[in-house]
Amino acid sequence: MFEKIPAELKAVPNWVCWRLLPDAERGKPRKVPYDPRSGKAAASNDPATWCDFDTAVSAANDYNGVGFMFGNSPYFGVDIDGVADELPRYMEGEPGLLSDFVDALQSYTELSTSGTGIHIICRGKLPQGGRRHGNIDMYESGRFFVLTGRSVSQDPDIVDC
């Protein structure tokens, strides 16, 4: 399931597990990161609550899955939500928002848990300025991505962006 996640990402101890929990305030469930070693919530600003890839994967059956914390590493993530209509066109190689991002970044890209968005993980630093625009969010710290291993990359390596 996680075979296509790049080895260099697996080698970084930024891994957590996650659970989908109700959130009455938001009116929809939220993904909460957990340290599988302690069973307690993981903190996006505390690497001591993160673990290695193998530990996270070994514990994943007790949770909803695994995730990667941004911060304390050379990686950033691009999250593009709500593109279910574009995904088939992207998969067929047609131009559009998804192909623009994926072609420009040329880095590891996978489908989100919902199957209606994508996550792109790159090595590098985000430029200063806005990191949110419409359905696009970019993170280099303070957040985590749930990873599915459902790669849509032609070459699923991480590249410098």
What is the dihedral angle through the alpha carbons of 68, 117, 63, 8, rounded to the nearest 10 degrees? -30
Task: Give 127's pLDDT tier (boundaries 50, 70, 90).
Answer: confident
Cross-strand pairs, 134: none
Which are the contacts of 55, defined by CB distance < 8 A and separation ≥ 6? Answer: 15, 36, 37
Q: What is the pLDDT of residue 32?
A: 98
d(CA 78, CA 109): 9
What average pLDDT is seen over the chain? 92
Q: Coil, helix or strand for 54? A: helix
Q: Is the pLDDT of residue 45 over 80?
A: yes
Residue 42 is predicted with a pLDDT of: 98
**Is it the case that residue 21 has pLDDT exceeding 90?**
yes
The residue-averaged pLDDT of 34-41 equals 98
**Which residues of 25-117 form beta strands (DSSP E)?**
30-34, 65-69, 75-80, 108-111
* Mean pLDDT of all residues in 120-145: 90
Instruction: Answer yes or no: is pLDDT of 53 > 80.
Output: yes
Q: Which residue has the higher pLDDT, 98 or 2?
A: 2
Rounded Cα–Cα distance for residues 151 and 120 (Å): 10
Three-class SS state of 43:
coil
* Burial of 154 per CB tally in 10 Å (0-12, 13-18, 19+): exposed
Q: From CA 45, how far away is CA 64, in angstroms rounded?
A: 22
Percent of the chain whose predicted confidence (pLDDT) is above 70: 99
The predicted pLDDT at position 41 comes to 98
pLDDT higher than threshold 90 for residue 157: no
